[in-house]
Amino acid sequence: MLKSIFKKKPNKSNNELLLDVFYSGKYKETIKKAEIILSKEPHNTDVKRIIGLANYKIRRFESAKLIFVEIAEKTNIKDDWFNLCTSATRSKDLKLADKAFYEFMNESSIKGENGMLTQANVLYQYMIALKDIKEYNKAHEQLIVLKKYYAGIKQHDDNFLGQYGVPFIFTTLVSGKEILDNVYTKEQINNWLNDFAKQVDDYGKDSIKEFKEKHYPELV
């Protein structure tokens, strides 16, 4: 019986028990148990999704990508497109990553359960994934879009940004520092930050000033 692969817990489905294993950080065990379930329930998308996430956690990005491309094409759910975007990026399949990112942003894709997957946050996560594989020019494109996003909203304090799932300006700049260092000279970085400061409110200006003081004191 499938239930025999788990310790018995009342009122929990196999999917829920599998998630318990996943959230405990036992990713390889999660995959093994999930594959047993999948052998009996080959169309269980939730279990496939958990396998994809577990593979991603242990940096098997190619395996995660192959799972999520199948799932996302089937479900058209934004969460699945996001997972495909990040796994495809980290497996250096940038054409597929772009497609997944476009589909996430597409109004026709279906909103998922993860409320943190706002457009701004996905831009941020895509930028980080690109940075981590040293695709600095492409990561810079996302950073530019984020800069424009901040310029388009009226408030920039952390409470407001957090309420709407927008990364804090200071956090974005810290994550983007490696990108700035690889696409600009110091003078260009200073100009870029000064231009950014002109487009945000006093809270945003303070965040940019704090970033410069901590990471580019020579520019202050």
User: For residue 94, what are its two tokens?
Assistant: 């940038």
* Ranges of H-type helices in the chain: 14-23, 27-40, 45-57, 61-75, 78-90, 94-105, 119-132, 136-151, 158-163, 169-183, 186-198, 202-215
Whether 183 is covered by a domain: the verdict is yes
Q: Quick one: average pLDDT of 130-139?
A: 98
Share of the chain above pLDDT 70, in %: 95
Mean pLDDT of the chain: 94
Q: How many domains does the chain have?
A: 1
The structure tokens 């231009």 sit at 195
Q: How confident is the model over 16-43, as pLDDT tens digits? A: 999 999 999 999 999 999 999 999 999 9
In a domain, 17, yes or no: no
**Contacts made by residues 179-182, CB under 8 angstroms, sequence distance 24+:** 179/127, 179/131, 179/136, 179/139, 179/140, 179/143, 180/140, 180/143, 182/134, 182/136
For the cut 50, the answer to whether the pLDDT of residue 5 exceeds it is no
pLDDT tens for residues 144-185? 999 999 999 999 999 999 999 999 999 999 999 999 999 999
Beta bridge partners of 110: 77
CA 155 and chain centroid, separation: 23
Residue 66: inside a domain: no
The answer to whether residue 7 is domain-embedded is no
pLDDT at residue 7 tops 90: no
Is residue 123 over pLDDT 60?
A: yes
Whether residue 2 lies inside any domain: the answer is: no
For residues 190-198, give the mean pLDDT: 98
The pTM score is 0.91
Quick check: is 218 in a domain? yes
Residue 65 falls within a domain, yes or no?
A: no
Q: Which domain holds residue 123?
A: 118-220
pLDDT of residue 11: 62
Q: What would the pLDDT profile of 59-83 be if each residue is shown by its tens digit?
A: 999 999 999 999 999 999 999 999 9
pLDDT tens, residue by residue, 95-116: 999 999 999 999 999 999 998 8
Quick check: is 106 in a domain?
no
The pLDDT-based confidence of 3 (bands split at 50, 70, 90) is very low
Q: At residue 6, does pLDDT exceed 80?
A: no
